[in-house]
Amino acid sequence: MENKERKIKLYLSVVFPLGLGALIWAFYRFPVDKINAGLIALSIVTVFFSSYLRIQLPRTKIHLTVSDALIILSLLIYGGEVAVLPLLQELPGNAFGIFQSIIGREQRQCRTPPPSS
């Protein structure tokens, strides 16, 4: 178990600075002239609604959400700087939704049957 925790810490120590660099890059190079109603609507749908629409791939623990597709769409339409920001806004909500589904599944498994008379 110690080896797995070390790999997780190593992974996070590599990914976190890359994510922080992407965030700084997105804010620094954000194209203000590309802000329009379509971008605002796409961001709202991506952040608030699409993380709950997910499908689990068969025989895996991987969930694909509609927000993944919408972030790729924003990458294609508006560019990388714009796609990073809805992604970072959507991540906490998506993680919270998956966390709730895990907690709900564990609660269903831990229920004890009512005592029989």
> CB-hemisphere CA count at 13 Å for 49?
7
Q: How far apart are CA 79 and CA 86, in angstroms?
A: 12
| Domain residue spans of the chain | 1-30, 31-109
Assessment of whether the complete model's pTM goes beyond 0.85: no
With a CB cutoff of 8 Å and minimum separation 6, the contacts of 70 are 42, 45, 46, 50, 86
Q: How far apart are CA 22 and CA 15, in angstroms?
A: 11
pLDDT in tens, the chain (117 residues): 688 888 888 888 888 898 888 888 888 888 888 888 988 888 888 777 766 677 788 888 777 778 778 888 888 988 888 888 777 777 666 566 555 555 565 555 555 555 665
Check residue 79 and give its pLDDT.
Answer: 87
Check residue 97 and give its pLDDT.
Answer: 58
